[in-house]
Amino acid sequence: MNCHKTLLDTYAHIMSIENKGNVADYIPELGKVDPEHFGVCLTTNNGIQYTAGDAHIPFSIQSIAKVLSLSLALSLEDTMIWQRLDVEPSGSAFNSLVQLETENGIPRNPLINAGAIVVCDILCTHLKDPKKELIAYIREVSNNEDIQYSEIIAQSEKSNGYRNYALVNFMKSFGNIKNDVDQMIDLYFYLSSIEMTCCQLSKTFGFLANGGKQLITNKEILTRSQSKRVNAIMQTCGFYDEAGEFAYKVGLPGKSGVGGGIVAVLPNSYSISVWSPRLNKKGNSYRGMEFLELFTDTTRETIF
């Protein structure tokens, strides 16, 4: 199978069909992005990259960054983090409050907003300068000193982040937030505002296709066992109430963000990212899902 040709053919086909859905505008700055951007990059485990379209334009990776904050928390506390978080799919929207009440402020998993906020709280307990140390970690995982936050997007989300403030205060009432609410929610907004291109994103996630080791350098980002677990969480929880649909259609562990990005990995083979800002009703990239479904159907390589 010629991987680059399949990628280009799939891209051309998805380009030729109607682009459905809407750009996320509950974060006003995100609503300003051109909805027709469409980029793809596949990075093989030996570091070769195949691209199509807008693969070199930076975009807001939003919830995709939750996988990186989770990785850092696992490196710091390993399985201790599971005292404050679960690993079950939520079956509800990424910003839902409903389960928290009956489940005593313990989020279902680290990839919904409530769970990622608890992860940020864990990081605030360990890090002296959380924002600085978190971006330093992400640059280290990416092997790229150019990775940036967007101050404008972080501020835009902060001034409209009523639900996330509700989530953090609700969990604080159950004793599952240890740090100052304002300080730690700030870290969450900064985490969400990280920007990467498709090429940077797929290269960054290469460690999850490579048993926890960074591509090329072989530096250990996570142990093999931790990497297996993060992939399992992406598989079951990476797309919120559409995690089943993504597993059914695409058959790879992955993670989406409301900026329109999706990253997915085929363990021992490659990591792929797609960016297209129009989102379906569940908050996942419409073209991203369509692209990956057709791509894995054509290559016939999935984990199933």
Ligand X SMILES: NC(=O)CC[C@H](N)C(=O)O
Site for ligand X in 160-179 (CB under 6 A): 164
Nearer of residues 44 and 241 to ligand X, judged by Cβ? 241
Instruction: Check binding of 227 to ligand X (CB under 6 A).
Output: no
**Mask: binding to ligand X, 186-205, rule CB under 6 A, as x and -?**
------x-------------
In the structure encoding, which two tokens stand for residue 157, read together?
Answer: 């989300």
Other beta carbons within 10 angstroms of residue 269's beta carbon come to 17
Q: Is 148 exposed, middle or buried (0-12, 13-18, 19+ CB in 10 A)?
A: middle
- 10, 44, 51, 63: which one contacts ligand X (CB under 6 A)? 63
* Helices vs. strands in the chain: H and E counts, helices first: 13, 8
CA 122 remoteness from chain centre: 18
- 40, 120, 258, 279: which one contacts ligand X (CB under 6 A)? 258
Instruction: Check binding of 273 to ligand X (CB under 6 A).
Output: no
Nearer of residues 94 and 149 to ligand X, judged by Cβ? 94
- 51, 90, 95, 227: which one contacts ligand X (CB under 6 A)? 95
Instruction: Check binding of 285 to ligand X (CB under 6 A).
Output: no
State whether residue 265 is helix, strand or coil: strand
Q: Is 113 known as a binding-site position?
A: yes
Give the containing element (helix H, strand E) for 13: helix 3-16
Nearer of residues 179 and 210 to ligand X, judged by Cβ? 179
Q: Is 258 known as a binding-site position?
A: yes
- 21, 206, 257, 277: which one contacts ligand X (CB under 6 A)? 257
* Distance in angstroms (rounded) separating the CA atoms of residues 64 and 147: 14
Nearer of residues 114 and 222 to ligand X, judged by Cβ? 114
**What DSSP designation does 253 have?**
-
- 10, 113, 273, 285: which one contacts ligand X (CB under 6 A)? 113
Nearer of residues 113 and 280 to ligand X, judged by Cβ? 113
Instruction: Check binding of 157 to ligand X (CB under 6 A).
Output: yes
Instruction: Check binding of 280 to ligand X (CB under 6 A).
Output: no
Other beta carbons within 10 angstroms of residue 13's beta carbon come to 14
Instruction: Check binding of 276 to ligand X (CB under 6 A).
Output: no
Question: What is the full DSSP assignment across 42-84?
Answer: EEETTS-EEEEESTTS-EE-GGGGHHHHHHHHHHHHGGGGGGS
* Distance in angstroms (rounded) separating the CA atoms of residues 69 and 86: 16
Of 294, 291, 249, the residue nearest 15 (C-alpha): 291
Minimum distance, C-beta of residue 188 to ligand X, in the bound complex (Å): 7
- 38, 50, 94, 286: which one contacts ligand X (CB under 6 A)? 94
- 3-state SS record for 218-244: CCECCCHHHHHHHHHHHHHHCCHHHHH
Instruction: Check binding of 62 to ligand X (CB under 6 A).
Output: yes
Annotated binding residues for substrate: 63, 113, 157, 164, 188, 240, 258
Annotated binding residues: 63, 113, 157, 164, 188, 240, 258
* Residues in touch with ligand X (CB under 6 A): 62-63, 94-95, 113, 157, 164, 192, 257-258, 283
